[in-house]
Amino acid sequence: MSKLGMRHPTDEQLLRFADGELSAPEAGEVRGHLRACWQCRTELEEIERTIGECVRYRKIVLETCLPPAPAKWFDIYWHFADIDESQRRGRWANRASELLRAALRNWRLWVPAFVTLVLIAVVVQRFRQTPSVSAAELLHKAMAAAESRSGTPRRIQIRTRTHRLTRVVGSARTAAMTGAGPDSLARIESMFRAAHYNWEDPLSAKSYAEWRNQLPDKRDEVTSERDRYQLRTTTSSGELVEATLQLSLQDLRAVEGTLQFRNREWVEITELPNVPTLPPPVPAEVADAASALSPRPSKPDLPAARVASLGDELKVLAALHELGADLGDPIEVMPLGGQILVTGRGIAPERQREIRDGLAAIPGVTVRFSEPSTEALGPEGRIPRSISVSPGTSRLQAELEKQLGGRAALEQFADQVLEMTEAMMSRAHALRRLAQRFS
């Protein structure tokens, strides 16, 4: 019906037009076609005449000769739906009864399946309870092994989101701590107290078991990874919602632990290698004789300096960043023997003097430079401060010169882009270096 001017409507379309069943656009097209086509108009008149005869036949013959209907006409489809629903319910009931009768007739065939289901349920329930049982047994064995090592001091590191400290536990030096102020220590200790976790010896199977046993609800998970057992306990009660303890596979010694608090704070506890035991003091007479026989050093011994902290290391990195020495110069910063060692290689004497002067105000810093090599000072090893445009002009270069107003403007624009990129790279390098060192 999209092109009625080129073809005639069918009889079905004319009948639907006469009954008023066509849509408004289709009826408009048929109506326009009928105004111009006498043949279709004649067919429509014949259809309307036939419809009129049928209506008159119904009124004259059927209504006069046939008796009236006993009741009003109703929607028979509702009764069809009720019949289908009743048959469906009967079908399911019949099928269930047939299955039950078949099972009763052949009950010997269903006994193995029923026994298998019972065994599966028992095994699943057993495996659900196994982690808790394994965690309790493993902690009991670890506590027994720790009793045999009692009295041996050891060093642990406690790290939080913002602080890091070192403690010595297992002897009278339990309270010895380094690397954090009293305020941060009090805050960390208050978190442990609120969670009912032992602050005096946090990295031990006994402390972990005491916290775990007082939980009203808990979920345990025990895994084995390489040379360690890992115990993970989660709970919905208390300030501490998750704790992880790693035990050495060889002697069940607690080597690492992680605590997740409800306020989204976390604490990592790691065992550190023990410091070698110092030899007994030498008598004064022997020391005087040894000092008299030993040759005098060419330089006097430096007085004992204080132990450099992480704050001092951050000051060194900030000073190097201010000097621009953390990106353009081959410089390394590392803690060594309670001092901060700054080493450089292949740096010009003038640059060495600038770096020494910039770090002179920071205590506990040792600066060492090696002799600059020819390769390090060569012009090919340095990043140029400006970009020179080659004589050969590419299409992109020609377009840039056209947009910027000439070759000189292009070189100036390239120099500015290089300076901006170098500044951004310097900042990104400094941030990455801090993240690698202190994360």
List, for residues 256-285, the tens digit of each pLDDT value: 999 999 988 999 999 887 655 444 555 555
Q: Which residues contact 1 (CB under 8 A, 6 or more apart)?
A: 9, 13, 26, 29, 30
Domain tally for the chain? 4
| Residue 97 sits in the same domain as residue 164 | no
364: containing domain: 310-438
For the record, the structure tokens of 80 come out as 């069809």
Tell me which of 77 and 176 has the higher pLDDT: 77
Tell me which of 379 and 156 has the higher pLDDT: 156
| Residue 190 sits in the same domain as residue 254 | yes
Within a domain: residue 277?
no
Summarize the confidence of residues 279-297 as an average pLDDT: 51
Given 253, 272, 291, the domain boundary residue is 272
Within a domain: residue 303?
no
Summarize the confidence of residues 112-137 as an average pLDDT: 72
Distance between CA atoms of 21 and 12, rounded to whole angstroms? Answer: 11
CATH classification of the domain holding 176: 2.50.20
Given 221, 247, 272, the domain boundary residue is 272
Res 256: pLDDT: 92
| Residue 231 sits in the same domain as residue 336 | no
Tell me which of 109 and 342 has the higher pLDDT: 342
| Residue 82 sits in the same domain as residue 163 | no
Report the share of the chain in percent with pLDDT over 70.
76
| Residue 224 sits in the same domain as residue 321 | no
Question: Which range, 180-184, 372-376, 419-423, has the best average confidence (pLDDT)?
Answer: 419-423
Summarize the confidence of residues 356-368 as an average pLDDT: 82
| Residue 52 sits in the same domain as residue 177 | no
Distance between CA atoms of 347 and 377, rounded to whole angstroms? Answer: 7
Distance between CA atoms of 416 and 385, rounded to whole angstroms? Answer: 10
* Contact between 270 and 157 (Cβ < 8 Å): yes
Within a domain: residue 148?
yes
Res 376: pLDDT: 41
Distance between CA atoms of 401 and 418, rounded to whole angstroms? Answer: 17
Residue 259: count of CB within 10 angstroms of its CB: 25
Asked if the model's pLDDT at residue 311 lies above 80, the reply is no
Tell me which of 199 and 110 has the higher pLDDT: 199
Tell me which of 338 and 265 has the higher pLDDT: 265
- Segment 419-434, tens digit of pLDDT: 777 667 767 766 776 6
Res 242: pLDDT: 94
Within a domain: residue 296?
no
Distance between CA atoms of 315 and 313, rounded to whole angstroms? Answer: 5
Summary mean pLDDT of the chain: 76
| Residue 226 sits in the same domain as residue 150 | yes
Within a domain: residue 289?
no
Least confident of 24-33, 131-140, 427-436: 427-436
Angle at 312 between CA 423 and CA 176, to 5 degrees: 145
Res 278: pLDDT: 45
CA distances for 80 relative to 75, 85, 94, angstroms = 9, 9, 21
- Segment 76-90, tens digit of pLDDT: 777 778 887 877 776
* Contact between 349 and 340 (Cβ < 8 Å): no
Residue 371 — pLDDT band, cuts 50, 70, 90? low
* Residues paired with residue 340 on neighbouring β-strands, in sequence order: 335, 365
Res 392: pLDDT: 52
Question: Which range, 124-133, 206-215, 326-335, 349-358, has the best average confidence (pLDDT)?
Answer: 206-215
Asked if the model's pLDDT at residue 6 lies above 50, the reply is no
What is the end-to-end Cα distance of the chain in Å, rounded? Answer: 75
| Residue 327 sits in the same domain as residue 423 | yes
| Residue 157 sits in the same domain as residue 138 | yes
| Residue 266 sits in the same domain as residue 365 | no
Within a domain: residue 70?
no
| Residue 248 sits in the same domain as residue 334 | no
Within a domain: residue 143?
yes
Summarize the confidence of residues 352-365 as an average pLDDT: 82
Within a domain: residue 412?
yes
| Residue 232 sits in the same domain as residue 361 | no
